[in-house]
Amino acid sequence: MARIPTLILGGTGYVAGELLRLVLGHPQFEVAGILSDSQPGEPVAKAFPHLAPALGDLRFLSEADITQRVTTLPACALFSAAPHGVSAALIDRLLAAAAAAGTRPRVVDISADYRYATPEAYAAVYKHAHGAPARIAEFTCAVPEHLAAAPTPHVAHPGCFATATLLASVPLLALDLVVPTLFVSGVTGSTGSGRKPVEGTHHPTRHSDLYSYNALVHRHIPEITACAAAATGVTADFAFVPHSGPFARGIHATVQATLKRAIDTPTLLAQLRSYYAHSPFVRVTDAAPRVKDVAGSNYAQLSAATNGRTVAVLCAIDNLNKGAAGGAVQWMNRLFDLPETAGLTAPAAGWT
């Protein structure tokens, strides 16, 4: 099979770097360009020295360069890790240029710009108008495990906290096991805040510390609610408290809810295993999940416990991989009718 030209938007960010790492090792995707409007012409290895052995003389491209590739490649994979509020209009311009040229890129957006079904829902969360409201209908937002195939030509991947929470919550709602009020506590690594240094990611502030932020008002809550409803038909109430953890990569989420009927832990674990039986990247274990067992991989580890009245489902993922770049590659594999696992089966690094 011919290699699939792959373009990455988002330049020097952590998620763009993780996308680049995954595409460089993919059996079918081939890097055809990576956009950085702030550093066009600069070596990509300057931003991602850990990838230098595989990059050669690859250099960042301008938007004009990316447009030229989109309009001359008959088909390509286009990943956007551009910032929220920027990605929508950028994707819109590229898709419009492709349509005029008769080419057919497939897009997976990792920003928040196409995660909401209406421009009003997006604006309510992000406090500015959507950059391309007419394009929203061309995108579907879902965790790959919760939608067999996208009904639209393009996909929006949920956020990293949303991914972990949905993997833990959706089976409870879909199997009608719990009262639809769920309490979520999630801890994320510092890479979840992006590459630009801020107080929350400054090492002396974050090292050996743990603290919550945006309790019960985090911007992922409407996204989680909408994606859970789309996957299960149940509109649940999510009370979410995020935390900043003293590590770089990973998310650990704990979801608690009240059971509708008594169930013991072995039975609950069996139901979770059955629900994810055909999901190659979800492992349900008896032992509680650990971030180090998934960091650097596209795998999610779940476990659960119940006392007969309350259930707790625990989920660990890598925020940059399963929660962003890896989940996006998983979707792009599907969009090109490739095996869902292509390029994503490497296990966690361990001891990160």
For the stretch 163-180, pLDDT in tens is 999 999 999 999 999 999
C-beta atoms surrounding 169 within 10 Å: 28
Looking at 177-309, which runs of residues are DSSP E strands?
181-188, 211-212, 237-244, 251-258, 282-284, 300-306
pLDDT, residue 194, reads 74
pLDDT, residue 316, reads 98
Q: Quick check: pTM over 0.95? A: yes
Average pLDDT, the chain: 96
Q: Closest Cα to residue 109, out of 334, 324, 299?
A: 324
> What are the residues whose beta carbons fall under 8 Å from the beta carbon of 245, sequence distance 6 or more?
187, 188, 189, 190, 206, 210, 252
Catalytic sites, residue numbers? 160
Q: Express each pLDDT in 258-289 by its tens digit.
A: 999 999 999 999 999 999 999 999 999 999 99
| Predicted confidence band of residue 19 (pLDDT cuts 50, 70, 90) | very high
| Predicted confidence band of residue 50 (pLDDT cuts 50, 70, 90) | very high
pLDDT, residue 85, reads 95
Mean pLDDT of the 221-244 span: 97
Q: Express each pLDDT in 288-331 by its tens digit.
A: 999 999 999 999 999 999 999 999 999 999 999 999 999 999 99
Mean pLDDT of the 69-83 span: 97
Q: Closest Cα to residue 224, out of 174, 168, 277?
A: 168
C-beta atoms surrounding 3 within 10 Å: 12
Alpha-carbon span 182 to 166, nearest angstrom: 11
Cα torsion 212, 218, 223, 229: sign:
positive
Whether 202 has a pLDDT exceeding 80, the answer reads no
Whether 204 has a pLDDT exceeding 90, the answer reads no
Percent of the chain with pLDDT over 70: 99
Half-sphere exposure of 81 (CA within 13 A, CB side): 29
Q: How many helices (H) and strands (E) does the chain have?
A: 11, 13
Cα torsion 55, 61, 67, 69: sign:
negative
pLDDT, residue 330, reads 98
Whether 1 has a pLDDT exceeding 80, the answer reads no
Whether 6 has a pLDDT exceeding 80, the answer reads yes
Mean pLDDT of the 175-194 span: 93
| Predicted confidence band of residue 352 (pLDDT cuts 50, 70, 90) | confident
pLDDT, residue 182, reads 98
- The full 3-state SS of 79-114, as one line of letters, equals EECCCCCCHHHHHHHHHHHHHHHCCEEEEEECCCCC
Percent of the chain with pLDDT over 90: 92
Whether 196 has a pLDDT exceeding 90, the answer reads no
pLDDT, residue 29, reads 98
Contact criterion met (CB below 8 Å) for 155 and 107: yes
N-to-C CA span, the chain? 35
* Domains, the chain: 4-141 (3.40.50.720), 161-319 (3.30.360.10)
Tell me which residue has tokens 């897009």. 107
Whether 193 has a pLDDT exceeding 80, the answer reads no
Whether 197 has a pLDDT exceeding 80, the answer reads no
Q: What strands, in cross-sheet order, belong to the sheet with 4-9?
A: 29-34, 4-9, 75-80, 104-109, 154-156, 139-141
Q: Express each pLDDT in 143-155 by its tens digit.
A: 999 999 999 999 9
- Which amino acid appears at position 106 of this protein? R
Q: Express each pLDDT in 116-137 by its tens digit.
A: 999 999 999 999 999 999 999 9
pLDDT, residue 315, reads 98
